[in-house]
């Protein structure tokens, strides 16, 4: 079989070297895909894109320095034609909704078969969407039955204030200063927020609030280390 003259040039960004090696191996066995660069954090991904823009960026969601969602937003501003495929272990609807709203073309789970991921890269490069079937079902459910998917308690105005500042990446200390309350009070508000939104992290809480329309999707994704 003759290899294509022009291969799909891919940037692969994931903070686990072993994961990147495995993905690179099966992507390049496809024959029409070439992994041109690898990054182990979001800022490195952006530097590599600026240096030599690929055809498709394959991004994990949770990466150091900048998340996949933040990188996606940056790409859409600076390289709007570049294909973006999110390859992640997170199958939660808020993550998928948030990253697709940010401008990703595809969302595939790392548990997918190699051939499915290969096809997703091809689809994104061709301008088609590529969303994991299980994720697509959740997104449809969100559209058809939003109340059922979003069965969470409303946040108070103060809790929303705290969460908006969390979404901007502020630490508890800075949030306390902004709202003129103690850091301990901020921690208390966050505990209530996590409980009401059924979230286990700052990022999950923000993404869930985005999916509910309580926070603008244009906000920055929080840094988990800000706790």
Q: What are the domain boundaries of the chain? A: 8-144, 152-226
- Give pLDDT tens digits for 71-104: 998 999 999 999 999 998 887 766 777 778 788 8
Rounded Cα gap, residues 218 and 22, in angstroms: 33
Give me the sign of the Cα torsion angle 67, 69, 70, 71: positive
Same fold, 8-144 and 152-226: no
| Mean of pLDDT values over 217-222 | 50
Q: Which residues pair with 88 in a beta bridge?
A: 109
| Residue 70 clears pLDDT 60, i.e. is over it | yes
- Give pLDDT tens digits for 53-63: 999 999 998 88
| Mean of pLDDT values over 207-213 | 74
**Among 93-97, 194-198, 202-206, whose mean pLDDT is lowest?**
93-97
Residues ≥6 apart with Cβ < 8 Å to 90: 61, 62, 96
- pLDDT bin (cut points 50, 70, 90) of residue 118 is very high
pLDDT for the residue 225: 46
Q: Which residue has the higher pLDDT, 213 or 143?
A: 213
**130 phi and psi angles, rounded to 5 deg:** -145, 100
pTM listed for this prediction: 0.65
CATH number of 152-226: 1.10.10.10
| Residue 171 clears pLDDT 80, i.e. is over it | yes
Residues ≥6 apart with Cβ < 8 Å to 60: 13, 14, 15, 19, 68, 86, 87, 88
CATH number of 8-144: 3.40.50.2300
| Residue 143 clears pLDDT 70, i.e. is over it | no
Rounded Cα gap, residues 96 and 105, in angstroms: 11
pLDDT for the residue 144: 47
DSSP per-residue codes, 198-221:
T-SSHHHHHHHHHHTTSS-TTSPP
| Mean of pLDDT values over 125-142 | 76
Q: Which residues pair with 109 in a beta bridge?
A: 88
Contact 215, 164 (CB under 8 A): yes
**Which stretch, 75-89, 92-106, 149-163, 164-178, has highest mean pLDDT?**
75-89
3-state secondary structure of 138: helix
pLDDT for the residue 112: 92
Give the residue carrying structure tokens 């991904």.
45
pLDDT for the residue 151: 47
């Amino acid at each position: 079989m003759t290899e294509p003259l022009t291969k799909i040039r891919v940037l692969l960004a994931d903070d686990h070297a072993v994961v990147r090696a495995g993905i690179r191996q099966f992507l390049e066995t496809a024959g029409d895909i070439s992994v041109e660069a690898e990054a182990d954090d979001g800022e490195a991904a952006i530097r590599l894109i600026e240096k030599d823009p690929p055809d498709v960026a394959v991004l994990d969601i949770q990466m150091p320095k900048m998340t996949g969602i933040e990188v996606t937003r940056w790409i859409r501003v600076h390289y709007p034609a570049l294909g973006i495929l999110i390859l992640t272990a997170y199958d939660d609807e808020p993550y998928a909704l948030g990253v697709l709203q940010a401008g990703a073309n595809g969302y595939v789970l790392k548990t997918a078969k190699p051939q499915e991921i290969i096809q997703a890269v091809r689809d994104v490069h061709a301008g088609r969407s590529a969303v994991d079937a299980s994720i697509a079902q959740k997104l449809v459910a969100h559209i058809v039955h939003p109340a059922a998917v979003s069965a969470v308690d409303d946040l108070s105005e103060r809790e929303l204030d705290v969460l908006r500042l969390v979404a901007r990446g502020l630490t508890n200390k800075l949030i306390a200063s902004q709202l003129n309350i103690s850091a301990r009070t901020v921690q208390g508000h966050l505990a209530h927020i996590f409980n009401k939104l059924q979230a286990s992290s700052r990022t999950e809480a923000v993404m869930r609030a985005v999916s509910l329309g309580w926070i603008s999707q244009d906000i920055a994704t929080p840094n988990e280390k800000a706790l």
